[in-house]
């Protein structure tokens, strides 16, 4: 499992519960994409986070 400390401090993240407001997809969709390996969930203090740029890259089909 990866931790947020593995990435620079400037990385923008959000909670899966914020996905409807941020990305227009459900919380369940975020977890489904993570389970399928399309995006990575990060955990800290019992909370889950996703990198905004990872989700946007998946949604738009753009990958680094």
Domain boundaries, the chain: 4-60
Q: Which CATH class is domain 4-60?
A: mainly alpha
Enumerate helices (H) and strands (E) in the chain, giving the number of each: 3, 3
What is the DSSP track for 9-37?
TT--EE-GGGHHHHTSS-HHHHHHHHHTT
Residues paired with 41 in a beta bridge? 50
pLDDT beyond 60 at 47: yes
pTM check: above 0.95:
no
Written as six digits, the tokens of 59 are: 């949604």
The tens digit of pLDDT for each residue in 23-32 reads: 999 999 999 9
- The arithmetic mean of pLDDT across residues 12-32, rounded, is 94
């Amino acid at each position: 499992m990866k931790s947020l400390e593995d990435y620079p401090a400037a990385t923008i993240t959000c909670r899966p519960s914020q996905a409807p407001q941020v990305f227009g997809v459900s919380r369940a969709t975020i977890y489904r994409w993570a389970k399928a390996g399309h995006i990575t969930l990060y955990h800290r203090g019992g909370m889950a986070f996703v990198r905004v740029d990872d989700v946007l890259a998946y949604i738009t089909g753009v990958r680094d």
